[in-house]
Amino acid sequence: MSSFRLSHLHKLLDPEIRAKNLQWLRWRARELYWSAAHPAMPDPVFVIGCSRSGTTVTFETLAASGQYLHFDYELPQLWDGLYGPLNNGWASEAAGPEHADHAHRERALAYFYARLGAGPVLDKTCINTLRVAYLHKLFPRAKFVFIHRDGRDNISSMIDGWRLGRTDGGFGLEKFFGPSPVPVEINGGEFREWHFFLPPGWRDYNRASLEEVCAFQWISANRLALDAARDVPAAQWIQVRYEDIFERPVEMFRTVFERLGLPFDARMEAHCAGLSGRPTSIVKGTPKKQKWKESNPEAIARILPAIAPLMRELGYALDD
């Protein structure tokens, strides 16, 4: 018993642990205050898109406006904690309006208020591409900035991400959920865990090739977002193309800023003008159009029939 108490005493005296505990207590106190007083918090703006589709540069550009409160990282633990694999029987990371609970809205807004303060919040968490209908039910005045990318380049980048990880870590999901409840042997056993996100029906791909899995993820994310967008008022849905970051970044972001009611001044125009030469990848080199022809041409050729219908729907020509 004495050693147990001494070990706890050591933790209590550790400056780093004490600082974390105090920070948690401050956040908890602010959450309780929000729950009691409900200071005004507008519905968030959500930047969404399949992983490796340009969500980061889109988020960073909107954040550079200085008009939003935001975290500099994604929040899958928050959203999955409200509804996700660990409380839905590992169904997926998707969520529909039937899963929306008023308590989820309260918890999310309390979380934002405690850590960011009162004001408009900009959130970029890629799994929310699978939860547009859920978020629209929770936050009926929220706006969505949905970015999509040519499926060939997007899937090629995801293949690289699965294999190479990222410059600051990996995309594997075990660190969030623990081991899969069923065996995963993707690409002949090369991968024993899922990466990026879990779409509905993921178990059917546990023994598929890597390009089939990434194509499935790309189709799932974009399909769920587009289907849910039908019930989002047009004024709250802003759809943009990744390729425009290279071809017409100023025009693209000027339109986005106008639709969000943000000022697009000379500073932001200069910022956007530099994007075509500045986007960087956290996986493999500088992103560019038709990069798939250099990285994974054979793999992309194999899954092209599967992604062709959605490619056409999104406005991409297959003969590019």
| 35-44 per-position pLDDT tens digit | 888 888 999 9
Q: To which residue do tokens 């546990």 refer?
A: 206
- Say what percent of the chain tops pLDDT 70: 90
Averaged pLDDT for residues 72-93: 96
**Over 90: is that where the pLDDT of 280 sits?**
no
195: helix, strand or coil: strand
How far apart (Å, rounded) are the C-alpha atoms in residues 317 and 310?
11
Per-residue pLDDT band for 140 (boundaries 50, 70, 90) equals very high
Mean pLDDT across the chain: 91
Averaged pLDDT for residues 60-78: 96
**Hey, where are the domains in the chain?**
29-313
How far apart (Å, rounded) are the C-alpha atoms in residues 153 and 52?
9
Residues near 252 by Cβ (< 8 Å), separated by ≥ 6? 240, 241, 244, 245, 272
* H helical segments located in the chain: 2-13, 15-37, 55-63, 76-82, 102-116, 132-138, 151-164, 174-177, 186-189, 210-229, 244-247, 249-260, 266-273, 292-295, 297-313
Candidates 3.30.565.10, 3.40.640.10, 3.40.50.300, 3.90.1010.10; CATH matching 29-313: 3.40.50.300
Helix (H) or strand (E) holding 148: strand 143-148
Averaged pLDDT for residues 269-288: 71
With vertex at residue 290, the alpha carbon angle to CA 288 and CA 292, rounded to the nearest 5 degrees, is 105
Tokens at 292, concatenated = 């798939």
pLDDT of residue 8: 58
Averaged pLDDT for residues 277-286: 56
Least confident of 22-31, 98-107, 122-131, 185-194: 22-31
Q: Are 85 and 197 in contact (CB under 8 A)?
A: no
pLDDT of residue 101: 97
- Say what percent of the chain tops pLDDT 90: 78
**Which position has the higher pLDDT, 170 or 89?**
89
Q: Which DSSP category does 191 fall into? A: B
Averaged pLDDT for residues 233-246: 96
Whole-number Cα distances in Å, 153 to 57, 132, 159, 247, 316:
16, 24, 10, 16, 11
How far apart (Å, rounded) are the C-alpha atoms in residues 75 and 125?
6
Radius of gyration of the chain (CA): 21
* pTM of the complete model: 0.91
How far apart (Å, rounded) are the C-alpha atoms in residues 158 and 52?
6
**Over 70: is that where the pLDDT of 34 sits?**
yes
Backbone angles phi, psi at 87, to 5 degrees: -130, 10
Per-residue pLDDT band for 1 (boundaries 50, 70, 90) equals very low
**Which position has the higher pLDDT, 294 or 7?**
294
**Over 90: is that where the pLDDT of 288 sits?**
no
121: helix, strand or coil: strand
pLDDT of residue 7: 56
Sign of the dihedral defined by the CA atoms of residues 140, 145, 151, 156, in that order: negative
Per the document, the length of the chain is 320
